Amino acid sequence: MDFNRRAVLATSTGLAFALGATSVAARPTQAAAVDDGSALKLRSGSARDQAAVLQDAIDVAYAAGRPVLLPAGRFVVGGLELRDGTRLIGAHGTTALVGANAESIISARNVSNIVIEGIRLEGSGQVQHVVSLEDCQNIRLENLEIQGASGSALRVRACAGRIEGCMISEIGAVGIFALDSAGLEITRNTIAHCGNNGIQVWRSHAGDDSTMVSGNRISHVTARDGGDGPNGNGINVFRANNVTVANNKISDCAFSAVRGNAASNIQIVGNTCQRLGEVALYAEFGFEGAVISQNLVDTAATGIAVTNFNEGGRLAVVQGNLVRNLFRREHEPVDKRGEGITVEADATVTGNTIEEAATAGLAIGWGAYMRNVSATGNVIREASVGIMISADKDAGACLVSGNMISGSRNGAIRAMDHGRVIGPDLSTTTTQTGRVSIFGNLAV
C-alpha cells in the first residue's frame, strides 16, 4: 500500500504527523501533535538522543490511527517501540535514524500491521539489532537502507509478513535473521558485507516454517565467528521445513550460497551462485526432501551436495543444474573436495551439466552410506573422474545410465573408497552387480 504524503496532510483533521522537511542543520521541525496546538520538535543534525520526542509521536499516532511521516534529516534515536498498526514512513530515503546507546533503534512485540518504509537506519556499531520484532503479524519492512549493526540488521522472531526492497550492508553478524517465522517473505533485498550470514531462516525446534526467500542479491559474506558451516553463507536455513529459496543472486561467500541444515522439504531453485569457498548448494544432516533445480553454480569447492545419510539426510531431486569450475582446497587437511555434485541416499540426479571438476563430476555415496541413487542423462566435461561410485560392501543400490562423459583424465566411471578411486574404468562395459547397474553411458 503506497502512502501519498500530500493526501495524508491535506485530509488530516485532528492528529497528524507531517514532520516536514528540514535541512541537516540543527534546527527544530514541528509537527501538530494534539488538537490544542502543542507541538513536537525534532532537531536534524543534533547529537542529542531524540527518542522521547519520536516515541511520543508514535504513541499519539497510534491513538489517532494515523501514520508517522518523518521529515528529511538525521536524528539520533534508540529504543523506539512501535504500537499496533504503526506506520513509520520516511521522506523518500532522505530520513536517517542514527542509533543511540540502545539494543535496537526500533523494536516491537505482540503487535500487528506494522509498516516501516523509506528510512535510512544507521546502527553505527551502537546497537545489537537495528530493527527487532517479535510475535508480530502482517509486518511490512520496505525500502529501508540499513548499515552498521554489531549483530543483525533485521531480527524478526515469530513474525509473518514481508521484508522487501531493503539495502543492507556492513553488518557484524547477520543481514536478516528470521527465527520461528509464521509466514514470511524475504524478497528483492540487497545484502552485502555481513560477518556471518546474509539471511538466516532458523527455528528453535524443527517444524514447518514456509518462509519464501526470493530475488535477493547477496554478496561478500565472511565467517567471523568461525565454524565448519553455520557461518559464512549467503542464505542459511536451519531446522526450518518447507522453505523455498528461489531466483537469488549470491556471490563471494566464505562457505555456501545456500545451506540447508536439517531443513526438510527445502526447494533451492533458479539461483545464480558464484565464487563460494565450500559447497555452493548444500542439503545436509537430518533432512527429508530437497529439490535442487535449475541453478547455476560457477566456482566453488563443490557445486551441490546432498549428504549425511548417516544422520538421516535423504530424499532429493537434483535436476537441470549447470555447475562448473570446482576447485580443490589443498590447504585443507581432509575436506579438499573439487566435486560437481555429491549425493548419498534416495536421490535422482538427472539432466545436469558439469564442467571442470578437479576431483569428480559426480560422486555417489560415501562408504556404506549409499542407497537408491539414480544418475541419468547428465553431461560431464573435463573432470578428473567423471563419476565415482562407492564400492563399500554395505552400500545400497545405484543406477548410472545414459550419461555423456567427455575428457575425464582419470576415468569416466570409477569405483571409490571414501573418495579414493579404485579398480578399472567401468564405462567401457556394462556392469551389473547385485546393487549397481551401469549401462548405456558414452565416454569420449
Instruction: Write the CA distances from 410 to 324, 388, 398, 402, 426, integer angstroms.
Output: 18, 11, 21, 20, 12
3-state secondary structure labels for all residues of 309-322:
HHHCCEEEEEECCE
**Cα-based angle 443, 365, 390 (whole degrees, multiple of 5):** 65
What span, in angstroms and rounded, lies between the C-alpha atoms of 297 and 304? 8
pLDDT at 15 over 70: no
Q: What is the pLDDT of residue 106?
A: 98
Q: Give pLDDT tens digits for 221-271.
A: 999 999 999 999 999 999 999 999 999 999 999 999 999 999 999 999 999
> At 126, is the pLDDT very low, low, confident or very high (cuts 50, 70, 90)?
confident
Q: What is the pLDDT of residue 27?
A: 38
> At 431, is the pLDDT very low, low, confident or very high (cuts 50, 70, 90)?
confident
Q: Give pLDDT tens digits for 183-214.
A: 999 999 999 999 999 999 999 999 999 999 99
Range with top average pLDDT, 4-8, 23-27, 218-222: 218-222
The three three-digit cell numbers of residue 384, written as one number:
578428473
Q: What is the pLDDT of residue 235?
A: 99
**Interval 84-111 mean pLDDT:** 95
Q: Give pLDDT tens digits for 26-58.
A: 434 443 332 222 245 789 999 999 999 999 999
Number of CB atoms found within 10 A of residue 46's CB: 16
Number of CB atoms found within 10 A of residue 57's CB: 22
